[in-house]
Amino acid sequence: MRIAVDTLGGDHAPHEILKGVAIALREGGFSSEELVLVGPEELIKQFLKDEGITDLPTIVHTEDVIEGHEKPVVGLRTKPNSSISLCVKTVRAGNADGLIAFGNTGATVAAATMGLGMLPGIRRPGIAVTILGRGGRFVLLDAGANPTPKPEHLFQYSLMGAAMSKDLLGRENPRIGLLNIGGEAGKGSEVVRAAYETLEASALNFIGNVEGNELFDDKAEVFVADGFVGNMVLKVVEGFAEYLVHSAAKSENGSGVRDVLRGMLGAADFSEIGGATLLGVNGVVLIGHGRSHANAVLPALRAVKAAIEAGLNHHIVESLASHGGEVPSSS
- The residues binding its own copies (CB under 8 A) are 133-134, 144, 147-148, 179, 181, 188-189, 211-217, 225, 227-229, 231-244, 246-248, 251-253, 256-257, 260-261, 263-264
C-alpha–C-alpha distance, residues 291 and 82, integer Å: 19
Q: Which is nearer to its own copies, 52 or 263 (CB)?
A: 263
Find the shortest distance in angstroms from Cβ 214 to its own copies. 6
Smallest gap from Cβ 231 to its own copies, in A, equals 4
- Identity of the residue, 40 or 133, whose beta carbon is nearer to its own copies in the bound complex: 133
Tell me the closest approach of the beta carbon of residue 215 to its own copies, in angstroms.
5
Is residue 198 a contact partner of residue 156, using CB atoms and an 8 Å limit? no
Select from 27, 25, 69, 77 the least CA-distant residue to 48.
Answer: 25
Q: Which CB sits closer to its own copies, 69 or 329?
A: 69
Instruction: Judge whether 40 and 75 are in contact, CB under 8 Å.
Output: no
Q: Of 171, 110, 178, 191, which is closest to residue 142 (Cα–Cα)?
A: 178
**Which of 24, 229 has the CB closer to its own copies?**
229
What are the distances in angstroms from CA 31 to CA 22, 214, 263, 271, 301? 10, 42, 31, 21, 12
Closer residue to its own copies, CB minimum distance, 10 or 40? 10
Q: 29 CB contacts (<8 Å, ≥6 apart)? A: none
**Closer CB to its own copies, 167 or 221, in the complex:** 221
Task: In angstroms, give the least distance from the CB of 125 to its own copies.
Answer: 16
Task: Name the strand (E) or helix (H) holding 241.
Answer: helix 227-250
Helix (H, G, I), strand (E, B) or coil at 35: strand
- Minimum Å gap between C-beta 232 and its own copies is 4
Q: Residue 46: enclosing H or E segment and its boundaries?
A: helix 41-50
The CB-of-330 to its own copies minimum distance in angstroms stands at 19
